[in-house]
Structure 1
């Protein structure tokens, strides 16, 4: 999969045919998707940093009542997201030309597939939950709260997920996918990138549905 400015206009990669070489896509003068992915990832990181320093808005009740574990988890997620943002930005760095394209793009493909499938599965399950099918989401038990308090907290958490967090996962996945797609040089490889992502999203969503069917669901 050809990437970025790795090759000059007169060069042909060993895995690209002469016909494909003649169809190479011109790289965009302004890599808007790379910048969009970078800044959105940082914005998503800010939310996790808020939770890491003790913020509680948007947290499900089980997480809000276990601040130490929640803070540690969010510090870890924040670090991963900062690395991810820098990884996306690396697409623009001249040094990236000396790195095999698959090595740069594989993590972006994985992250995009996971984020988009998370959003789709989350929207479906949280919608079912808010529609009265409470078995669609298995929120962790919170013995510290009464049944009524837990029900109210879980309902609010599902609303937050449906209106805020799942759309964020969807946007994150799309901008990551497009940031990489923008730097793939041939139409054939762009099609491969797109359809492999679609297939991965479908398979992950089906896997989540199977887990739900066998009662191994979780509040994701």
Structure 2
């Protein structure tokens, strides 16, 4: 039997969307994992925000003030995201409309997974010799040899570390929301919309690349 926080039917604004036929795990493991991964990745952004440089591409290492400001903003956004994730397993998640939680979580999951898919493909192409797959910005005052070395390292780090992190983050967030949805039809719609969202973003990225525009910072 699933163990849930008790809440009266009159306070459950999503009660009409529940379906008793969907079995729930005894513990909301995906919510917990999504929260933990979000906090861990937030700490990485805090590291960059306070001046850390490991893992940053060459241009970011030479524009520290802007990079630090951006990472402070991202850190705050991730804290807010962690709160939304926890709400999936909190009584407040039954007192607000489901879409108020699911829309921002859907956006986060789709962006993370599509970023990973696009990154795996482009960085693999770059490392295989097709350097046009990734548009690393030119950094003034840096020799071509130094830039090539730094860009190669950045592509390796992205492929082995950061893109897997994006993929893990997106998948656990998506599963946390999937666990929150209690109807079979709702779960099917969730999965379908996720796949469509990922496809649209990655196709958009490919089209931008084909016309010579940069899709991502790296």
Q: Same fold by TM-score, threshold 0.5 exceeded?
A: yes
Higher relative contact order (CA 8 A, sep 6+): 1
Deviation of the 1:97 alpha carbon: 1.3
Verify the 8 A CA contact 2:42 2:79 in the aligned structure 1: yes
Aligned to 1:164: 161
Q: Which of these residues, 133, 137, 140, is aligned with residue 140 of structure 1?
A: 137
Aligned to 1:96: 93
Q: Which runs of 5+ in 1 are unaligned?
A: none
Verify the 8 A CA contact 2:14 2:98 in the aligned structure 1: no
Post-superposition CA distance 1:37-86 (Å, at most 9, x none): 00000000111111011100000010001111111111111111111111
Post-superposition CA distance 1:14-55 (Å, at most 9, x none): 966xxx94x631332200000000000000011111101110
Q: Distance in 1 between matches of 2:56 and 2:198?
A: 26
Verify the 8 A CA contact 2:14 2:97 in the aligned structure 1: no
Verify the 8 A CA contact 2:22 2:182 in the aligned structure 1: yes
2:72 is the counterpart of 1:75:
yes
Aligned to 1:41: 38
Q: Distance in 1 between matches of 2:185 and 2:213?
A: 39
Verify the 8 A CA contact 2:13 2:95 in the aligned structure 1: no
Q: Which runs of 5+ in 2 are unaligned?
A: none
Q: Distance in 1 between matches of 2:200 and 2:92?
A: 34
Q: Which of these residues, 74, 85, 94, is aligned with residue 82 of structure 2?
A: 85
Equivalenced residues, count: 211
Verify the 8 A CA contact 1:60 1:153 in the aligned structure 2: yes
2:176 is the counterpart of 1:179:
yes
CA RMSD of aligned residues (A): 2.1
Q: Distance in 1 between matches of 2:118 and 2:136?
A: 15
Query: SS of the counterpart of 1:24?
Result: coil
Aligned to 1:192: 189
Aligned to 1:24: 21
